[in-house]
A and B are shown apart, each in its own frame.
Chain A
């Protein structure tokens, strides 16, 4: 457990050494590290974390969005990175302002992000610019609204 903690902080340190501007904030909670990355540095930071030999975050476990309505910036996009070789996990977070949120895609770094980003687009309306195939994935193509947003009622619009 302890060695993992050190390893995680090393990842944050590596990121800082590489470009201090890519780390806007570091959040520690329950032994998990979250690095808040400014939007313009996201893809660069992702490429660095995936290719840096001592980190090798080559696996994107998950990509998900949280809607903090009515706060601004409204959306948080979370990237759960995993390094199989170094047995590390790290969460990147990008804060996005609504109501037409837009984030650069990370499909060029992790192709698995394709469907994850489609899901976030489908359910939260986040536009991932540069995405090869940004269509709805779970909801019907002609659906109106974004169901997982907090201003969308649980039982739907009637």
Chain B
């Protein structure tokens, strides 16, 4: 590939700008992102993200699997928010088939996806702080994340690749005392967030590294297609949970957090405020989740029968066998289902041709779109600010490249 090098004026006459490859193996690019920087001294003249190093062809793989089998692939797209991806995929498939999930399962889904938002934002906060030289916050935030990972493990049996949401509901009934564990973590968390804020919000180095850095105006953010905290940090109050409520989000009381500055500090404030909002939602969900009730819908031929039924009734056995060998065939058509993942609008476009395998699945990955804003954020600024800008776009390369 040929690149045109910019000429810059120097006292000794025109000279070629220096081209620097940042990544793909660079600790602060959060994975395998390569940014081609053109530099004039320490000033960034142009930044061009080059992606694809983690492309695994998940969308192609989905076309050769049944709908249920695809769920395990979705975990691997955004590995910091596996449950959000599960939810997006399941909701799209449920929309395509046209089944309603029981309220109890919807509330459990809300509760767990909000926990996912908290863990994802905690990882972001820790890694972003370490990028900018604040080691302590990283250690603290991973301590809290670990507690939530233990809840995942307790509920679904897996820490990271949970695959806990299934088409029509959940994989299994959560253990009886899981809500007590959630409550314990949620009681401790607000105090811990105060600790992070004590360490960062008024910290002079933190402010110098983030305030006025990486500014994005509301118009630019919309034009570039940014969503999630990147868009809300620029003052646009768009949140899929409010605009197009799914999974009973309309029954929850929470606020969309926005800041108007549009810089790295604003995005930091939005994310920290979102952790607090998520705690609020989790508390409300804990009230709503009843100890017993159905955890998946009744839809013979689509949702597997209970173990008891499979062992004792002939219909149950047949359905069980058919679902796990052939899958089920939704009617032909296309749907687009968007959810608010921790990084922004995660859209799942699903096309069915009436067979048991999806004809086409497309994941509208928020990281992929948000990363497009990088040149806008860091051109004309110092090379050290590039690290802060990559950090606050909060990209996950698994999701960028899919």
Chains A and B come from one and the same complex:
yes
Known: A32-B336, A112-B225, A115-B372. A139 touches B55 (CB 8 A): yes
* CB-defined contacts of B347 to chain A, threshold 8 Å: 61-62, 80
Q: Is the pair B349, A154 in contact by a Cβ cutoff of 8 Å? A: no
Q: Which of A28-84 contact B (CB under 8 A)?
A: 29-30, 32, 34, 58-62, 64, 66-67, 78, 80, 84
Chain A proximity of B63: nearest CB distance (Å): 7
Chain B proximity of A113: nearest CB distance (Å): 8
5 contacts between A and B (CB under 8 A): A78-B334, A114-B372, A138-B55, A138-B401, A154-B63
Known: A29-B333, A111-B223, A154-B61. A64 touches B349 (CB 8 A): yes
Does B351 interact with chain A (Cβ within 8 Å)? yes
* CB-defined contacts of B114 to chain A, threshold 8 Å: none
Q: Is the pair A139, B59 in contact by a Cβ cutoff of 8 Å? A: no
Does B244 interact with chain A (Cβ within 8 Å)? yes
Q: Is the pair B64, A154 in contact by a Cβ cutoff of 8 Å? A: yes
| A64–B402 alpha-carbon span in the complex (Å) | 14
Does B12 interact with chain A (Cβ within 8 Å)? no
Residues on A lying within 8 angstroms of B by beta carbon are 29-30, 32, 34, 58-62, 64, 66-67, 78, 80, 84, 87, 89, 91, 110-112, 114-116, 123, 135-141, 147-148, 154
| A148–B335 alpha-carbon span in the complex (Å) | 19
On chain B, the number of residues with a Cβ less than 8 Å from chain A's Cβ atoms is: 39
Q: Mark B144-164, 1 if CB is under 8 A from A, else 0.
A: 000000000000000000000
Q: Give 19 A-B pairs besides A29-B333, A66-B360, A154-B61 with Cβ atoms closer than 8 angstroms.
A: A32-B335, A58-B223, A59-B222, A61-B345, A61-B347, A62-B336, A62-B349, A80-B349, A89-B336, A91-B334, A111-B225, A115-B368, A116-B369, A135-B1, A137-B52, A138-B51, A138-B52, A140-B52, A147-B60
Does B280 interact with chain A (Cβ within 8 Å)? no
Q: Is the pair B60, A154 in contact by a Cβ cutoff of 8 Å? A: yes
Nearest 4 Cβ contacts at the A-B interface: A112-B225, A62-B364, A138-B52, A29-B333
Q: Is the pair A139, B338 in contact by a Cβ cutoff of 8 Å? A: no
| A84–B244 alpha-carbon span in the complex (Å) | 11
